[in-house]
Chains A and B, each alone.
Chain A
Amino acid sequence: MSKFGHKDLFGMGQLSVRDIQLILDTAESLKEISERDIKKVPTLRGKSVVNFFYEPSTRTRTSFEMAAKRLSADTVSLSVSTSSMVKGETLIDTARNIQAMNPDLIVLRHSSSGAPQLLAREVKACVINAGDGINEHPTQALLDLFTIREKKGKIEGLKVVITGDISHSRVARSDIIGLTKMGAEVTVSGPPTMIPPGIEDFGVQVVHDPAEAVKEKDVVMMLRIQLERQGKALFPGLREYAVFFGLNREVLKQAKKDAIVMHPGPINRGVEITDDVADGPQSVILDQVTNGVAVRMAVMYLLMGGTKE
């Protein structure tokens, strides 16, 4: 039995290889619960979980909520439109008020990098970062690792390419940290305007040309292009992006025959990925969503003092 030594999950940076393995192993044993007729275990009965979303999110919030409910925790969801944030309350004040109601775990999605650390300073509850600014999105990286391990049987030694707006992607940051920690070989790709300075320090290779970047890869991960950035300095438009940086069948042929295609969602069909690839036999995009619930159950369980038998 090994205990998980963290109260909060801010990012992949804080996790050791053993921590990550423990989370993935725990998720594996919990995944089966979601396949039962009665999808509920009493593990977190009597615990309260607050889902606190300062940014719109469907998939992540639903996933966390389902994970908490399947562990029998009581859940409350707060979003921007229902919280006092619209009335001008600061994050610290909101945190103190939530703490006053004594929850056990807070899941935070926030547009500012570092917001979970600020929140954790003010509350006794465990904090899970469900995405902070352009910094990290650790449960996404964990579910990606889980999915890769499930499909490929291992992570170490695999060749992975991540393509898109690396600069503004918390998913990319967390995935890069997690994958390199677990021994994968990571390449990042995308237009030079979307590759941040010093990214090589993460131990990744930069290959701008997507076809070149995809060559011989085991895993091809596409990032969502944020539509609101088009026409500004980062890229001229969606059409051009799709032509030069999108993933289509032709480009995918460069990867290994058994390569898997991943995307954190929501996808822009016809922009970063074509329909036939997104829905094709190599796509594991919906498996990622399924695994997200199991991984989040594992993280909640471990943070709240659970052990893995």
Chain B
Amino acid sequence: MITWIQSGVVVDPVRCVQEELDLIIERGKIKQILPWGEFGEKSPQVRIINASGRLVVPGLIDMHVHLREPGHEYKETIASGAKAGAKGGFTALACMPNTEPSNDCRSVTEFILEQARRAGFARIYPVAAITKGQKGEMLTEFGDLRKAGAVAVSDDGFSVVNSEVMRRALEYARYHGLMVISHSEDRNLSNGGVMHEGVVSTRIGLKGIPAASEEIIVFREISLSTLTGCPVHIAHVSTAGSVELIRRAKEKGIPVTAETAPHYFSLDHSKVVGYDTNAKMNPPLRTPEDVEAIKKGLSEGVIDAIATDHAPHSPLEKELEFDKAAFGIIGLETALPLTLKLVQSGVLDLPEAIGKLSLNPAKILGVQGGRLETGASADLALIDPEYEYELREEDILSRSRNSPWIGETLKGRNELTMVEGKIVWEKDA
């Protein structure tokens, strides 16, 4: 059967354009791309999807999520997370290894991929641990993990404290074709902190996490990348100082890439006033100046990708005193409208924004996707950029509801998600 996506505006992050094009899909692949009105075939064998007034974008790729399986299925499963992702327009998710047990060996990676295959909805790319048990001591078996299907390694949630271990990880990972993703945090400096250290933490009496605790490790990773010539990817950049360090490294040609999360360009530390635990994440929400620097970093290409750091937690971890609550918020179902806001405010143009959510993470991880071109797999999303709605708790598909945007009005919604030509999610008629 042929699928004809008709009269949509196709956003192409490769050529950085948006054009009035039809897509013809057959056997899971994009068979033809042609201007409106040129495709004439009409037969019962052609399924028509009317995309008039919609954007047709490459399936979004979230390079940083926590799917909680195995071990914390009450927060999220691979199936529920992938479904939430599909709703948000994501066709691929890279899941972090801090599960229980952590993804530090072949059998866990294989289990994740098996669960993903059963679930459908989205492609799942496991990110394995850098060190056994994410303890920062012994390297995991990168070769074996790569063979099993891991695309990157990270001790996300922790920095690899020992610089020698991190250096060897970079060297060994490159040999096996794995990207190393750094959660950059000097725990001695941030220890016990629960929000950004600054005027707000002083005012409301919470222990602070200084910006320097992130920047020290960002600088170390850049130094190690310089030393070894190996690429490194900085996860969830949150401070102006980190943006500046990465900018300078890129200018010197050091192979560093970076991502930020929607909350770091949408919210600042004043959100914590009132002790809402859905404003608690690590790294923490920073100052308005940091938010501006993150936007500038995105606009100037210093920050390559937008990833959600989707971190589902149940009320057991969140309905607590602020300092006792877990870090993190869900993000798969809000990333698209929050990123489109950057387009509305002129920070990014549309193909750039979509590129940061698809093509760029694909390139960093070395996976397919991010391209709508003849022969490519038909992984795509259909977006109504004008649709406004209130985010309601009952509409959230993730198993967890820890979002600071519940009750807020969002603009822009995914209406249909397709993986390999198959519709995996579609809005209610």
Binding site for B on A (CB under 8 A): 90-92, 110, 112-115, 117-118, 132-136, 167, 170, 173, 196-199, 201-202
Contacts and interface: CB of A to CB of B under 8 A. Distances in A.
Interface of B: 197-199, 201-208, 274-275, 319-324
Contacts of A167: 202
- Counting chain B CB atoms within 10 Å of each CB, which of A115, A135, A196, A202 scores highest? A196
Given A112-B324, A114-B321, A118-B321, A136 B202 contact: no
Given A113-B321, A135-B204, A135-B205, 16 more contacts: A90-B320, A92-B320, A112-B321, A112-B322, A112-B324, A113-B204, A113-B206, A114-B204, A114-B321, A117-B275, A118-B320, A134-B205, A173-B205, A197-B199, A197-B202, A199-B202
Contacts of A110: 321
A114 B322 contact: yes
Nearest to A135: B205
B401 to A, nearest CB: 16
Going nearest first, the 8 A-B pairs with the smallest beta carbon separation are A135-B205, A114-B275, A112-B321, A198-B199, A196-B202, A113-B205, A134-B205, A198-B202
A91 B197 contact: no
B380 to A, nearest CB: 43
Contact of B208 (A114, A136, A197): A197
Contacts of A133: 205-206, 323
A197 B211 CA distance: 12
A198 B202 CA distance: 7
Contact of B323 (A112, A170, A198): A112
Contacts of B275: 113-114, 117-118
Contacts of B204: 113-114, 135
Contacts of A199: 202
A101 B275 CA distance: 27
A134 B207 contact: yes
22 contacts: A90-B319, A90-B320, A91-B320, A92-B320, A110-B321, A113-B204, A113-B206, A113-B321, A114-B205, A114-B275, A118-B321, A133-B206, A134-B206, A135-B205, A135-B206, A197-B197, A197-B198, A197-B208, A198-B198, A198-B199, A199-B202, A202-B202
Chain A interface mostly: mixed
B287 to A, nearest CB: 10
A113 B323 contact: yes
Nearest to A177: B203
A91 B319 CA distance: 9
B323 A201 contact: no
Contact of A115 (B199, B203, B321): B321
A92 B315 CA distance: 11
A99 B296 CA distance: 50
Contact of B202 (A91, A115, A132, A201): A201
Contact of A92 (B207, B208, B319): B319
B318 to A, nearest CB: 11
A145 B202 CA distance: 22
> Which of A90, A110, A132 is most buried by chain B, counting CB atoms within 10 A of its CB?
A90
A173 B202 CA distance: 9
A112 B204 CA distance: 11
Nearest to A115: B321
Contacts of A134: 205-207
B203 A201 contact: yes
A178 B197 CA distance: 23
Contacts of A196: 201-202, 208
A187 to B, nearest CB: 16
Nearest to A136: B205
Nearest to B276: A114
A173 B204 CA distance: 9
Report which residue of A90, A114, A199, A201 has the largest number of chain B beta carbons within 10 angstroms of its beta carbon. A114
A34 B188 CA distance: 50
A90 to B, nearest CB: 6
A250 to B, nearest CB: 32
A135 B195 CA distance: 14
A110 B204 CA distance: 15
B241 to A, nearest CB: 15
Contacts of A198: 198-199, 202-203
Contacts of A91: 320-321
Contacts of B319: 90, 92
A198 B201 CA distance: 9
A16 to B, nearest CB: 18
B175 to A, nearest CB: 40
Contacts of B206: 113-114, 133-135
A83 B240 CA distance: 45
Nearest to A54: B321
A112 B275 CA distance: 10
A202 B200 CA distance: 11
A62 to B, nearest CB: 24
A199 B203 CA distance: 8
Contacts of A90: 319-320
A113 B202 CA distance: 11
Given A134-B207, A173-B205, A197-B208, A113 B322 contact: yes
B328 to A, nearest CB: 18
B190 to A, nearest CB: 13
Contacts of B207: 134
A113 B199 CA distance: 16
B188 to A, nearest CB: 9
Contacts of A170: 205
B131 to A, nearest CB: 27
B319 to A, nearest CB: 6
A90 B316 CA distance: 9
Nearest to B194: A113
A114 B324 CA distance: 11
